[in-house]
Amino acid sequence: MKYEQLARDIIANVGGKENVYSVVHCITRLRFKLKDTKKANTETLKNMEDVVTVMESGGQYQVVIGNHVPDVYHAVVEVGGFQNHDSVEQEEEKGSILNRFIDVISSIFTPILGVLAATGMIKGFNALFLSLGLLEESSGTYQILNATGDSLFYFFPIFLGYTASKKFRGTPFIGMAIGAALVYPTLTDVTATDPLYTLFTGTLFESPVHITFLGIPVILMTYSTSVIPIILATYFSSKVEAFMKKVIPDVVKMFLVPFLTLLVVVPLTFLLIGPIATWAGQLIGAASIAVFDLSPIIAGIFLGSLWQVFVIFGLHWGLVPVAINNLTVNGSDPILAMMFAASFAQIGAVLGVWLKTKKQKLKTLSIPAFLSGVFGVTEPAIYGITLPFKRPFVISCIAAGVGGAILGAFGTKGYIIGGLGIFGIPSYINPQEGLNLAFWGMIVSIVVAFILGFVLTYLFGGVNKGEQTEEDTSVEPGKTDVKVEENLVIASPLKGDVTPLSEISDGAFASGALGSGVAIEPTEGKLYAPVSGKISALFPTNHAIGLLTEDGAELLIHIGMDTVQLNGEHFSSHVKQGDVVEKGQLLIDFDIEAIQRAGYAVTTPVVVTNQLPFELTATKQTKLQAGDTLMQA
C-alpha cells in the first residue's frame, strides 16, 4: 500500500487510533475528530514530508495533504481499522454551537461533494451547449445529459438521508427510505389535483390540503432538491431508532426496529417536520436574499474578500446549506456566487510569486499549486505559497473582494452547485436567458481578480525581501542563506553512481520540493561528511541525516527509499545530533545487501534544503569516490 507508512505516522501523531473518534476527508485534507487534541503532535505533523499543514477548526483536527488525499485517507482507514467515519464510538459533541453546527454540516455534505460537483458540471455544460446552439432541448442527447445532471439534486433527500443518518448514528438505509418517501412520484403528482380544502387561508403559510393521514390533513411540499426537511427527519429518526433498539427483543430487532421507526417517522415528517422545515427554509432563503439586496456590491466585497479566510477555518460550510436552500426555494443563489472570483485571485497571486521569486524551490512548488488552483483547489496555493509569505495572501483577498464587488454589481447568481475553478463557469448560465449580462459580469470578475492578484503580488508582494516560506525557516538563528560563500563545494558522501534527482522514484525528492541536488546509487555502505559543519538532524532510525555548514547551507542526505520502515535495522551511526564534524568524517555505516533483500532501494538523494543566492552545479561525472566533488557554486 503506497501510503501505508504515511498513514501510520499520521495516526501515531494524532495521538494513536485510540484517540480518534472518526476521520473523513474533503478535497485536500483529512478531518479528524479527536478525543483529546492535546495528545496530537502538531509540529511533528507539520514537518512531515507529505503534510502541507495542520489546522484546528469547526471542532475538527485537519491534516492538509493535497490533491492525493483520497489515497491517503484509504490508507489511514485501513491502517487504523476505521471502517467509516462513524466506525469509532463517539462521545457527545463538545465545543461552541458554531463548531458543532459546522461539524454536522461538513460531515453530512463532505461525502457527496464530489458527485454533487460532477453532476452539477454535467448540467452546467449541458446548459452551455444549449445556449451556444450545439444542442436542442428536444434532443435525446440533451435529455439524457440533463437527467444525469439532475439525478443527484432531484433525489437529494435520499442521498442526504444516507449521510445524515451516518452522522446521527442511525441506520443509513432507514434514512434513505425516509428520503425516498419524500420524493415518491405518486405523492408529488397528487398536488396537480384540486385540493380538499385550504389551511391558514390569507396568511404567509396558506397551504392547500390534497390528502389526509388517519383523518389528519397533510400539507404536501416539494421535497426534491430540499435539504432541511430530510436532515431534521433523520435526526429525529436516529432518536426513535435508538429507543426502539432498547425496548425491542434482540430476536426480532432486525426487522421490527426499521419497521416501527419508519411507521413513526415518515408520517410525522409529512404531517409536521416537513412543512415546518420547508417554511423555515423559505424564511432563511428570503432573509439571505433580503440581506444581499440591501447592497449587492458590499455583500460581494465582504464574501469575496473573506471567502479564503472562511475556507482556512472551515467556516464556509455554514454557507453551503444556505446556498442549496436558495436554489431549492428560489431557483438561484447569489451567496456562493460572490466568492467565485476568489480562486482566480489566488492563482493570480501564485503566478506573481512564481515569476518574481529567485528561489528555484519556490518556483517548483508554485507550478502545481497554480494548476490545482485553476481547477478550484486552492489549499496548496494558500498553505504552500501565499499564506507563508502573508502579503500575497492579503493581496489575493483584496483582489477577490474586487471580484466579488463586480459580481454583486452585475447581479450574478448561481443556478446549480457545479464544479470549482474553471469548471464552475457554466454554473452561472441562466436557464431561461442563457449567456446574459450577469454571466458576462462573472467573466469580467474572474479576469479582473486574476490580473489584480498577479500584478499586485508581482509589484508589492515582497517575495524577494526576506519573507520566507515555512520550508526555509530552518536556518540556524544568526545564519541566513545570503551569507553562504559562493565558493561552496559539496563532496560526494558516498562511493557510487550519480543519478539526476528527477529520475528517482520518490516524488517528493524528484519534484525538487525538498530541495535541489542529485542522487547517488551507492556501491559501498559508508556515508561520509560532504562538508564540515554541524549535525543539525539525525533521524532515530539513522537512515537520514542533516548537516548545517558554518555559513548556513543546509544539506539533507536520505539513505534509500522508504527505508524509515526498517526502523533502524541495517544502519549504524557514528555521530549524534549536535556533533561538529569535519569534511570526510565517517557518519553512518549501512548494509546495502541487507537493505535490498528487505525490498528497499538504496538510492540516496543529497539535497540542499534552503535556498542559496547562487546556483549549484552538479558534477558531470557518473561514477564517484567518496570525497570527489559532487556539487559546487
Average of per-residue pLDDT across 152-158: 88
Proportion of the chain above pLDDT 90, given as a percent: 34
Tens of pLDDT, residue by residue over 260-308, are: 999 999 999 999 998 888 788 777 767 777 877 888 999 899 989 988 8
- Residue 442 confidence (pLDDT) above 90: yes
- Residue 325 confidence (pLDDT) above 60: yes
pLDDT of residue 271: 93
Burial environment of residue 376 by CB neighbours within 10 A (0 to 12, 13 to 18, 19 or more): buried
pLDDT of residue 617: 83
CA 306 from centre of chain: 18
Report d(CA 575, CA 387) in Å as an integer. 37
CA distances in angstroms from 118 to 77, 262, 468, 540, listed in the order given: 25, 32, 38, 45
pLDDT of residue 467: 41
Using the 8-state DSSP alphabet, how is residue 272 labeled? Answer: I
**329 and 393 housed in the same domain:** yes
pLDDT of residue 528: 95
**Three-class secondary structure assignment of 291-307:** HHHHCHHHHHHHHHHHH
pLDDT of residue 65: 83
pLDDT of residue 409: 94
Report d(CA 208, CA 553) in Å as an integer. 78
Residue 116 lies in a domain: no
Max avg pLDDT among 138-152, 178-192, 255-269 = 255-269
Residue 145 lies in a domain: no
The count of other CB atoms within 10 Å of the CB of residue 607 is: 21
**454 and 305 housed in the same domain:** yes
Confidence of residue 479 (pLDDT cuts 50, 70, 90): very low
**303 and 445 housed in the same domain:** yes
End-to-end CA distance of the chain: 40
**276 and 301 housed in the same domain:** no
Report d(CA 372, CA 431) in Å as an integer. 29
- Residue 256 confidence (pLDDT) above 50: yes
Do 338 and 408 touch, CB atoms closer than 8 A? yes
Nearest in space to 376 (alpha carbons), one of 425, 412, 438: 425
3 state SS of 516: strand
Confidence of residue 95 (pLDDT cuts 50, 70, 90): low
- Residue 572 confidence (pLDDT) above 50: yes
**452 and 530 housed in the same domain:** no
pLDDT of residue 605: 92
Give the domain-ending residue among 471, 496, 512.
Answer: 471
Edge-first strand order for the sheet with 29-34 is 20-25, 29-34, 60-64, 53-57
Give the domain-ending residue among 94, 115, 144.
Answer: 94
Average of per-residue pLDDT across 120-140: 86
Do 406 and 438 touch, CB atoms closer than 8 A? no
Average of per-residue pLDDT across 340-364: 88
Residue 193 lies in a domain: yes
Using the 8-state DSSP alphabet, how is residue 384 labeled? Answer: I
Residue 36 lies in a domain: yes
Report d(CA 78, CA 25) in Å as an integer. 14
**557 and 586 housed in the same domain:** yes
Residue 132 lies in a domain: no
Residue 603 lies in a domain: yes
The amino acid at 272: L
**199 and 285 housed in the same domain:** yes
Greater confidence (616 vs 349) lies with 349
115 Ramachandran zone, left/alpha/beta (phi>0; psi -120 to 50)? alpha
Number of domains in the chain: 4
Residues found in the chain? 633
DSSP string for residues in 541-588: TSSEEEEEETTS-EEEEE-SSSGGGGTTTTEEES--TT-EE-TT-EEE
Tens of pLDDT, residue by residue over 395-441, are: 999 999 999 999 999 999 999 887 778 888 999 999 888 899 999 99
Q: Which residues are catalytic?
A: 26
Which domain does 271 fall in, by range? 155-293
Q: What are phi and psi for residue 414, nearest 5 degrees? A: -95, 145
45-59, 252-266, 537-551, 555-569, range with the lowest pLDDT: 45-59
pLDDT of residue 437: 94
DSSP string for residues in 51-99: --EEEEETTEEEEE--TTHHHHHHHHHHHHT--STTSS--PPP-S-HHH
Report d(CA 413, CA 421) in Å as an integer. 16
**465 and 520 housed in the same domain:** no
- Residue 113 confidence (pLDDT) above 80: no
Tens of pLDDT, residue by residue over 18-63, are: 898 888 886 678 888 888 888 899 888 888 878 878 887 667 788 8
Tens of pLDDT, residue by residue over 383-392, are: 678 877 788 9
Residue 134 lies in a domain: no
- Residue 511 confidence (pLDDT) above 80: no
Q: What is the pTM of this model?
A: 0.54
Neighbouring C-alpha atoms within 13 Å toward the C-beta of 164: 27
Average of per-residue pLDDT across 9-23: 89
Using the 8-state DSSP alphabet, how is residue 493 labeled? Answer: S
Q: What are phi and psi for residue 581, nearest 5 degrees? A: -125, 160
Average pLDDT value over all residues in the chain: 83
pLDDT of residue 93: 47
Report d(CA 243, CA 65) in Å as an integer. 40
Give the domain-ending residue among 259, 276, 293.
Answer: 293
- Residue 144 confidence (pLDDT) above 60: yes
Using the 8-state DSSP alphabet, how is residue 386 labeled? Answer: I
Report d(CA 558, CA 602) in Å as an integer. 9
Residue 280 lies in a domain: yes
CA distances in angstroms from 382 to 10, 68, 300, listed in the order given: 22, 17, 21
3 state SS of 494: coil
Average of per-residue pLDDT across 471-476: 35
Q: Element (H or E) spanning 279, and its range?
A: helix 274-294
- Residue 478 confidence (pLDDT) above 60: no
Which domain CATH number covers 24? 3.30.1360.60
Report d(CA 386, CA 498) in Å as an integer. 35
Report d(CA 281, CA 278) in Å as an integer. 5
**276 and 322 housed in the same domain:** no
3 state SS of 432: coil
pLDDT of residue 244: 94
Instruction: Provide CB contacts within 8 A for 427, sequence distance 6+.
Output: 120, 124, 414, 415, 416, 417, 418, 419
Burial environment of residue 276 by CB neighbours within 10 A (0 to 12, 13 to 18, 19 or more): middle
Do 337 and 307 touch, CB atoms closer than 8 A? no
The count of other CB atoms within 10 Å of the CB of residue 115 is: 12
CA distances in angstroms from 196 to 185, 190, 203, 208, 215, listed in the order given: 20, 11, 18, 7, 12
Using the 8-state DSSP alphabet, how is residue 271 labeled? Answer: I
**211 and 311 housed in the same domain:** no
Average of per-residue pLDDT across 595-613: 84
**227 and 324 housed in the same domain:** no
The count of other CB atoms within 10 Å of the CB of residue 599 is: 9
Which domain CATH number covers 499? 2.70.70.10
Q: What are phi and psi for residue 554, nearest 5 degrees? A: -110, 130
Do 619 and 629 touch, CB atoms closer than 8 A? yes
**166 and 231 housed in the same domain:** yes
